[in-house]
């Protein structure tokens, strides 16, 4: 047996959920390009596809939306938990605690799509509730007139969001639904392989996402853009960092060797918002200049913007607080996690890798 640190390059599962083609810059969900889904479909349609392996017809979509809306409310006993948790508790820890509390007998093995749908539906409500509590704002109940992403923004902001901003955030939600065998997805499949319940698997995934090496938010990109502040400052700012050998936030990806398809799709969607957001002009100019300078300093490396770069533009456009970046990422990824949980349970074998012992051996 060979050792691969971090399991890099090791194939741990076969999947029909999604595919990350880093060499060619493609992200595929159930046979569809994720970037096309983000531009042309709603979050509900894509969630249905990822869970059911087919896009919904009109009747199926309406029934699916209705089910999501009916499962947004937080049960009273979970509300009691939210009332007694220390106010300074970060949102990801609160979400992990509340999801864990939902693990009643209704979520027993084997996992089912309706469980996935209910947990996905309630997650934005928990996030919005805690955000508003931490900021001494009145709690906003779900609005049954609004779809999933629009309702999330409504519960956070307290007012019905503009359609263009909903479109931008919906694209972000869709593009972060699934991304291969990453740390959190693998964690969810490992727990599922023991025939534990869906809630337990999701708590493991949330714990992995909470780590800054995985769920790192685009706040660093926003800080960078705020620091540059004007087109005249772009080249000297970037050159100064590259001269010092520093990383430029939002550029480069461990998997993609060409343009990140998620970044490209977000850019396309955001261009419809650009006329209402002058800040986006700076985003585009920084991208253009930085890619050219990276080619100058690191020729042939092909370093482009990653999803965090244009995610930062989305977050800035909708004025989302940085404390909500990773929780928002998590709310979308519930769909991908649960799809992998369902797939693992359908053709299960418990994960049991080996380790290489490096300690002393008694004589």
Domains of the chain with bracketed CATH: 14-213+323-346 (1.10.580.10), 219-317 (1.10.230.10)
Residue 289's pLDDT band (boundaries 50, 70, 90)?
very high
Quick check: 21 pLDDT over 90? no
> Which of 77-86, 120-129, 199-208, 268-277 is predicted with the least confidence, judged by mean pLDDT?
268-277
Quick check: 257 pLDDT over 90? no
Residue 199's pLDDT band (boundaries 50, 70, 90)?
very high
Bridge partner list, 33: 28
Question: Cα(270)–Cα(34) distance, rounded to whole angstroms?
Answer: 16
Active-site residue, 159 included: no
Q: Which tens digit of pLDDT belongs to each residue from 42-91?
A: 999 999 999 999 999 999 999 999 999 999 999 999 999 999 999 999 99
Active-site residue, 253 included: yes
Question: Cα(72)–Cα(129) distance, rounded to whole angstroms?
Answer: 12
pLDDT value of residue 256: 61
Residues of the chain with pLDDT > 70: what percent? 96
Quick check: 278 pLDDT over 70? no
From 253, 264, 287, 340, active-site residue? 253
- Report if pTM > 0.85: yes
Q: Which tens digit of pLDDT belongs to each residue from 78-106?
A: 999 999 999 999 999 999 999 999 988 88
Q: Which residue has the higher pLDDT, 236 or 220?
A: 236
Q: What is the mean pLDDT of residues 198-211?
A: 96
The token duo for 198 is 């869906």
From 45, 178, 287, 308, active-site residue? 308
pLDDT value of residue 263: 80
Question: Cα(40)–Cα(67) distance, rounded to whole angstroms?
Answer: 22
Tell me whether residue 317 is exposed, middle or buried, using C-beta atoms within 10 angstroms of its C-beta: 0 to 12, 13 to 18, 19 or more: buried
The token duo for 122 is 């309630």
Question: Cα(271)–Cα(168) distance, rounded to whole angstroms?
Answer: 9
Quick check: 286 pLDDT over 60? yes
What is the maximum span of the chain, computed from C-alpha positions, in angstroms? 75
pLDDT value of residue 1: 73
Residue 274's pLDDT band (boundaries 50, 70, 90)?
low
Under 8 Å between Cβ of 318 and 165: yes
Q: What is the mean pLDDT of residues 324-343?
A: 96
Bridge partner list, 26: 21
Quick check: 270 pLDDT over 80? no
């Amino acid at each position: 047996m060979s050792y691969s640190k971090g399991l890099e390059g090791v194939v741990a599962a076969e999947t029909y959920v999604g595919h990350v083609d880093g060499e060619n810059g493609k992200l595929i969900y159930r046979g569809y390009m994720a970037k096309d889904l983000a531009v042309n479909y709603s979050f509900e349609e894509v969630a249905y596809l990822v869970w059911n392996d087919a896009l919904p017809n009109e009747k199926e979509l309406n029934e699916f939306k209705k089910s999501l809306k009916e499962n947004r409310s937080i049960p009273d006993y979970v509300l009691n938990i939210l009332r007694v948790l220390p106010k300074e508790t970060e949102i990801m820890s609160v979400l992990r605690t509340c999801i864990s509390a939902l693990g009643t007998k209704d979520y027993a093995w084997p996992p089912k799509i309706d469980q996935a749908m209910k947990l996905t539906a309630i997650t934005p409500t928990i996030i919005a509730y805690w955000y508003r509590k931490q900021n001494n704002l009145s709690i906003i109940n779900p609005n049954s007139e609004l779809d999933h992403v629009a309702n999330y923004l409504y519960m956070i902001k307290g007012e019905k969001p503009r359609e263009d901003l909903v479109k931008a955030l919906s694209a972000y939600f869709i593009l972060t639904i699934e991304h291969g065998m990453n740390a959190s997805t693998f964690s969810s499949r490992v727990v599922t392989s023991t025939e534990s319940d869906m809630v337990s698997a999701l708590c493991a995934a949330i714990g992995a996402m909470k780590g800054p090496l995985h769920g790192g938010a685009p706040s660093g990109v926003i800080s960078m853009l705020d620091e540059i502040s004007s087109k005249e400052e772009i080249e000297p700012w970037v050159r100064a960092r590259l001269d010092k050998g520093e990383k430029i936030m939002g550029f480069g990806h461990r998997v993609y060797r060409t343009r990140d398809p998620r970044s490209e799709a977000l850019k396309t969607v955001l261009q419809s918002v650009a006329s209402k957001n002058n800040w986006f002009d700076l985003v585009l100019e920084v991208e253009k200049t930085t890619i050219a300078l990276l080619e100058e300093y690191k020729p042939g490396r092909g370093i482009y913007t990653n999803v965090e770069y244009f995610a930062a533009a989305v977050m800035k456009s909708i004025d989302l607080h940085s404390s909500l970046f990773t929780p928002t990422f998590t709310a979308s990824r519930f769909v991908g996690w649960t799809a992998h949980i369902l797939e693992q349970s359908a053709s299960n074998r418990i994960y049991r890798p080996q380790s290489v012992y490096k300690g002393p051996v008694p004589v």
